[in-house]
Amino acid sequence: MDTTVNPQDNFYRYANGSWLERTDIPSDRSRYGSFDELLETAEEQVLEIIQEMSDRNAEEGSDAQKMGDLYQSFMNTEQINELGISPLAPEIEQINSIHDHDDLLLFWGKTQKYRFGNPLSLFVSQNQMQADQYITYLSQSGLGLPDREYYLRDNEQSQQIIDQYKTMISEFWNHAGWENGEQAAETVLSVEKQIAESHWTRVENRDRQATYNKMSLPELNELTSNIDWIEFSDAAGFKFDEIVVRQPTYFSAFNDYFQKIDIDDWKQYLNFHLIRSNASYLSSEFDQTNFNFYGRVMNGQEEQRSREKRGASTVEGSLGFMVGQEYVNRHYPQEASDRMDEMIENLKLAFEQSIKELEWMGEGTKEEALNKLSNFEAKIGQPEVWRDYQCVEIEKNDLIGNLRRSARCEYERNTGRLGEDVDREEWGMTPQTVNAYYSPTMNEIVFPAAILQPPFFDVNAEDAVNYGAIGAVIGHEISHGFDDQGRRSDGEGNLRDWWTEEDEKQFNVRAEQMVEQYNEYNPIDDMFINGALGLGENIADLGGVNVAYRAYHNSINNQPAPVIEGFTADQRFFVGWGQVWRTKYRDEALRQQIMTGPHAPGRYRALGVLSNMPEFYEAFDVQPSDSMYRKEDIRVRIWFK
C-alpha cells in the first residue's frame, strides 16, 4: 500500500502504490500482477512435476512416459535445429499439390483438426438453445494478427505493426529456403485483409442471439453455394445435419471472394500459416523470428521465456489434465475446497436477497432469476472425472508428430460428442490454471485449484480480506450469469427470453450507463476503453464486489467487526479487492489489451466498480470534491439496490 495517497482520489494507488513502485515487469513477460504471481508459482510447480517425469525410465504408455517424453521432445534443441523445416514437409507437399478451389476446400476440411490457415472453423459444443445436446458450430477464423482492427485501422501505429508482420513473413520464407519472401508477405497480407474486412467485430461476436443462427444443411448450402458441405464434412471426419453459423454475413461474403483469390495466393497464405502455427516448435531461426514479432512487437517482451518453461507449457497444452491430476495430488489442500463451498453458499444467498429487493424488476422476471440462481452448480479445485489420454501416442524424438497426434485426439474427442449426452462432469480449464469461469450453457461456476491461493484466497486470512478478494471473484463469476449476455440463458442453460419488455428496458438503461462510464477511461495514448466490449466483465465486477460485500456482512450477522491495524472491516474488504487487480503492463501489451480484451486493465477494474458503491464512499468518506466521487444519478446499480 501507499497510505500517502488519498484513497478518495486514487484508491488503486492507495492499495497498491508501494508494490507498483518496487515491482518491475520480468523481462520475459508482457505484464505482471497478482494473477502472474500465482501463475509463476503454478508454472514452477508444474515444471518440477514434468522434469521429474522426464527423468524417470517410465513404462511405455504410462502418464509419466507421455509427460516426460513430450517434454524431452521439446527440449531436444539439437535435433530440432538439425531438422529445420523438414517436419512440415508432408503438409507443405499437400499444400503445393492443391490445384483448384475444390482441392482447397478439401484441404481446409482435412486440416480442421490442426487449425492452421483455416478461415472456416468447425467445432462441436453445447447447443445454446437446447443445452442438454451438442451441436456443430461454424465460426470465422483465418487471421494471423489478433483482430480485424489491425488490418483496417489507418494510423501510424497499425502501419508499423503491419510492416513488422510483413518482415516476419519474409523472414520465414528465407529460413525455409524459398524465394520472393517480400512478395509472399504482400500476398498473405492481401488475403488476410479481405478476410478481416468481412469478420464481425468483437462487440458483434459478444451477442449470443445474433451469433446463434441454426441452419439445416440445405440452408447452409444456400448461404454458401460455392462450398460443398457434404464433401467438406467428409474431409473433416464427421457428419452433421444441422449447424449453428455464428457470423452469417462473414460466410456469405467469404463464399463470394474465396474463389476470386488466385489459388497460388491461397497456397502462399497456407504455407505461411503452417509455419506460423508451428514456428515455436521448429529450429531456432523460426522460433526467434516468431518471438520477435509476437513477443517483442505485439507484447513488448524483452526476452523469451526459458526453454524449460516453454517445454512445460507445451506438455500442458497437450496433456493438461494429466499434469493437473499430479498437480492436485501435490499442491491442493482439501480445506481450501471446504472453505470455498461455504463462501459460495453465502454468496448465492446474498445474491438471492439482492434479487428479491430489486425495485426496478417485476415479480415474474425475479422468479425466473431466482430459479436460475438456485440451479447454479459450482466446481471447485479439480474434476471428479479426469480426461483420458489413451488416444495420444508420445515419442521422445518426434515433437511435431506428438503435437499432431495430440491435436487429432482432442479433435476426435470434440467431434465425437455429437449425438452423445452432454458431459456434465467436463471442465473447460485444468486445475493448474490461474483463472475461473462461468458457463451459461452449463449454468455453472468453475474455480481451478491454482487460483485458490494468496492473494486471492488464504485459508488463514481473516474474512474481510478473503471476501474482498476471492469472494468478489466468486461473485464476479456468479454475476456473469446475469450480465448482458449471461442473463439471456435460463436456469437450465438454454438461450431463452425470460424477461418482460419493461424489465429488459430497465436493465439496458443501467447497462448503458456502465458502457458510458468505461468509455471515458483513457489508459494510454489516445486509446480509450471500449465499454461495449467490456460490458459483461464490468457488470460481473460490479455484481461481484456488491454480492461479496453483502455476503461478508451476512457472515458476521451484520454485527460490528473489529478494527485491525487502524483499518475497519469495510476498509479491509475494499483493500482486498483493490490488491487483487494490481498489474503493470508493457505499453505494447496494454494497447493490445484495450483493442482485443474484454477485461479492463487492472487499475480500472479496481476504480470503476468502487466509484459506483455508496458503501465505499462511506468507508473512506468520499466527498464531492474527491476524484473518486461520481454523482449519484450516474452511479451504476444493476443487481443491487
Per-residue model confidence (pLDDT) at position 372: 98
Residue 83 exposure: Cα atoms within 13 Å on the Cβ side: 21
Chain-centroid distance, C-alpha 550: 29
Q: Is residue 323 within 8 Å of residue 331, measured between CB atoms? A: no
Q: Is residue 488 within 8 Å of residue 495, measured between CB atoms? A: yes
pLDDT in tens, 550-607: 999 999 999 999 999 999 999 999 999 999 999 999 999 999 999 999 999 999 999 9
Strands 444-448 and 120-127: unpaired
Return the closest-CA partner of residue 256 out of 343, 198, 178. 198
Strands 31-33 and 120-127: unpaired
Phi first, then psi: what are they for 406, rounded to 5°? Answer: -65, -45
3-state SS record for 473-495: HHHHHHHHCCCCCHHHECCCCCE
Q: CA 482, CA 13: separation in Å to the nearest integer?
A: 30
What kind and span of H or E run contains 186? helix 181-198
Q: Is residue 540 within 8 Å of residue 480, measured between CB atoms? A: yes
Chain-centroid distance, C-alpha 193: 24
Q: CA 184, CA 266: separation in Å to the nearest integer?
A: 11
359: left (phi over 0), alpha (psi -120 to 50) or beta: alpha
Q: Is residue 309 within 8 Å of residue 43, measured between CB atoms? A: yes
pLDDT in tens, 162-217: 999 999 999 999 999 999 999 999 999 999 999 999 999 999 999 999 999 999 99
Q: CA 252, CA 551: separation in Å to the nearest integer?
A: 49
Q: CA 227, CA 259: separation in Å to the nearest integer?
A: 10
Q: CA 423, CA 366: separation in Å to the nearest integer?
A: 29
Strands 242-245 and 130-140: parallel
Mean pLDDT computed over every residue of the chain: 96
Sorting pLDDT into bands at 50, 70 and 90, what band is 484?
very high
Per 3-state DSSP, what percentage of the chain is helix, strand, and coil (rounded to 5)? 55, 10, 35
Q: CA 351, CA 640: separation in Å to the nearest integer?
A: 9
What kind and span of H or E run contains 377? strand 377-381
What's the Rg (C-alpha) of the chain? 25
295: DSSP letter: I
What's the count of helices (H) and strands (E) in the chain, helices before strands?
28, 9
What kind and span of H or E run contains 123? strand 120-127
pLDDT in tens, 242-298: 999 999 999 999 999 999 999 999 999 999 999 999 999 999 999 999 999 999 999
Return the closest-CA partner of residue 80 out of 290, 284, 291, 317. 284
Per-residue model confidence (pLDDT) at position 453: 83
Sheet of 444-448, strands arranged across: 377-381, 444-448, 437-439
Phi first, then psi: what are they for 278, rounded to 5°? Answer: -120, 0
Measured CA angle at 79 (ends 76, 83), to 5 deg: 135
Chain-centroid distance, C-alpha 429: 10
Locate cell 476503453: which residue?
Answer: 529
pLDDT(459) > 90? no
Count other Cβ atoms within 10 Å, centred on residue 39.
19
Instruction: Report pTM.
Output: 0.96
pLDDT in tens, 298-345: 999 999 999 999 999 999 999 999 999 999 999 988 777 888 889 999
